[in-house]
Structure 1
């Protein structure tokens, strides 16, 4: 049940991050879910290293969105379409 809840929250976080970042993204549903889940993990990791969260404590919802936005920026930089052709 924890995995299903993580996927649902990751999807919501990914959708909010994509909504807050204008422009087209080369990803679909799966990328949205993965960005949300990974954003939450990144936010928790950064928060633990900055002593915002205790070890093993998950990131908050807003921090998860910020983590997903960070990953979305990186995703756009890495996978942007080549327009020089």
Structure 2
């Protein structure tokens, strides 16, 4: 992955984290910074998974890649929120 790909994954990760948080119902017990970190991680992992499944590079918008990333972010936000709520 080139540096431009890393920078775009970080920027997209911000949006992915927010979208992932919006997908999870109820109140989340994590802050904005954790949401951003989860979104960035979901962007990187989601891109790798999309490439593994062969849906990373399509004509136009990569909707499947976005869906994978948002699903990962929602799962990460929910899991981290549950862990934080137990403390």
Mapped pair 1:17 → 2:23: no
User: Is the Cα contact below 8 Å between 1:39 and 1:70 reproduced in 2?
Assistant: no
**TM-score after normalising by structure 1:** 0.67
Give the distance between the partners of 2:66 and 2:50, measured in 1 at CA.
Answer: 12
The equivalent position to 2:84 in structure 1, one of 32, 54, 79, is 79
Count of aligned pairs between the two proteins: 78
- State the structure with bigger RCO (CA 8 A, min sep 6), 1 or 2: 2
Q: How much is the aligned-residue C-alpha RMSD, in angstroms? A: 2.7
Structure 2 unaligned residues grouped into runs of 5+: 58-63
Distance of aligned partners of 1:4 and 1:47 in 2 relative to their CA distance in 1, 3 Å threshold: closer
Distance of aligned partners of 1:60 and 1:14 in 2 relative to their CA distance in 1, 3 Å threshold: same
Select the structure that is richer in helix: 2
**TM-score after normalising by structure 2:** 0.66
Counterpart of 2:53? 52
Offset at residue 5 of structure 1 (A): 2.3
Mapped pair 1:68 → 2:73: yes
Counterpart of 1:30? 33
